[in-house]
Amino acid sequence: MKTVDTAKPLDSELPGSPRVLPFGLFAYVGAGASMLVCYGKTMLLASLGILGMNIPDINPHVQAVLMWVLGMVAVYGLLQDRKVHHKNYPVVLGALGVIVIILTLYAHYSSAIELSGYILLLTAAFLNQNVFLSELSRQVGKQAREVKELNQDLEERVQVQVGEIERLNRLKRFLAPEVARLVTEEQEKSLLQSHRAYIAAVFCDLRGFTSFSASMEPEEVMGVLQTYHNELGKLVAEAGGTIDHRAGDGLMVFFNDPLPCDEPVFKAVQLALDMRKKFSDLNLKWKKYGYELGFGVGIGGGYATLGVVGFEGRFDYTANGNAVNLAARLCDEAQDGQILIDHKAFVEVEEKINSEPIGSLMLKGFTGEIKAHNVLDLRL
């Protein structure tokens, strides 16, 4: 991305040469001062003589030295300006004028030749000013183009960043905030394309919610749901889980995708235990209002197909497969306070948890019996 330092003056290219007067006026100052020394006495005599006044005489040698020294000052100004506009002819013309003045003073004096030297010097100052201003105009035009390009680049960057923020906000609906940021940084499209992965799925909902909804005012029901999802959502975010969906009192979370993690089944068990504890805390208050609610969890492990589904403006990141269906069916079977996990997933964490077998279950959508366990707590 191009940048423009607008704080620098346009003539800041001059290496180690501070500018006394801008826009090529330094050459005019030197030339004008030299002419004043040359013709000033004559002009004063002409004007003061009318008034009958006299002025002190000036040593002609001092006058001559001042004339060519000040002429050299003008040439010095031309040399400094050349570093900006890179044109040689004003310097050459000014130097020629000073040479003519010096030769007139010390070789063969002629007022006409002396005047021609000053004409050359002034012409050099005039041409220098023109090319100097032309170069400044070119630099201003260049900077204006750079600023325009910079603005266009900034506009594009802002659009890209706005797009990233929009994508991040969409991702936050089903990913933990820190996971959503990582996914955005790692290029969302590649990570969220449909693919197959091993996951641990957690499905939970409230026991007795249907009868609770039918017997309570809608505002009370909504208040319970908002508190329930808000508190459990915080736990999911802390655990780094991915929220598949929320539906009423139901919540599905899975681990090990879109970003991999170690021991996804154990993370699922930890989250389930934390959610059960959080529900118990919430339920103490709800019981005071006469709410009769319970909490059940199902955990399944296995391969699933994952990816983004939906339509423009409303996408969800979701998982489909036996692990998901198994977690949902085990959740349906779970009694209040139970965390049911299928046997294959249980084998991965049996040394880290305390549990009790509940035998085999016949689950809808599955052929044959499914062996399951009830998670009690973690082993110390």
| C-alpha–C-alpha distance, residues 167 and 61, integer Å | 83
- DSSP character for 110? -
User: What's the CA gap between 276 and 206, in Å, rounded?
Assistant: 11
Which residue has 């079977």 as its token pair?
333
Residue 323 to residue 300: CA distance in whole angstroms:
5
What pLDDT is stored for residue 45 in this prediction?
62
Q: E-strand spans in the chain? A: 195-207, 242-247, 250-255, 294-311, 314-320, 339-342, 353-361, 370-378
Instruction: Please state whether the predicted TM-score (pTM) of the whole model is above 0.85.
Output: no
Q: What is the pLDDT of residue 18?
A: 40
pLDDT value of position 63: 82
Q: What confidence score (pLDDT) does residue 243 get? A: 86
pLDDT in tens, the chain (380 residues): 444 444 444 444 443 344 445 567 878 888 888 888 888 767 666 665 555 555 566 777 888 888 888 888 888 888 888 887 888 888 899 899 889 988 988 888 888 888 898 899 888 888 888 888 888 888 888 888 888 888 888 888 888 777 777 766 666 665 556 556 666 665 555 656 788 999 999 999 999 999 999 999 999 999 999 999 999 999 998 998 988 878 889 999 999 988 789 999 999 999 999 999 999 999 999 999 999 999 999 999 999 998 877 666 556 778 999 999 999 999 999 999 999 999 999 999 999 999 999 999 999 989 889 999 999 999 97
pLDDT at 283: 96
Chain-centre distance of CA 82, in angstroms? 41
Distance CA 314, CA 166 (A): 12
Q: What is the pLDDT of residue 4?
A: 43
Type and span of the H or E element at 277: helix 264-288
**Predicted local distance difference test score (pLDDT) of residue 333:** 95
All domains in the chain, ordered by first residue: 25-148 (no CATH), 177-378 (3.30.70.1230)
Contact present, 300 and 323 (Cβ < 8 Å): yes
Q: In sequence order, what are the residues at sequence separation of 6 or more whose Cβ sits closer than 8 angstroms to the Cβ of residue 36?
A: none
- Which amino acid, one-letter code, is at 134? S
What integer pLDDT is reported at residue 14 of this predicted model? 41
Residues, the chain, total?
Answer: 380
Helices (H) and strands (E) in the chain, counts: 11, 8
Output the pLDDT for position 125. Answer: 86
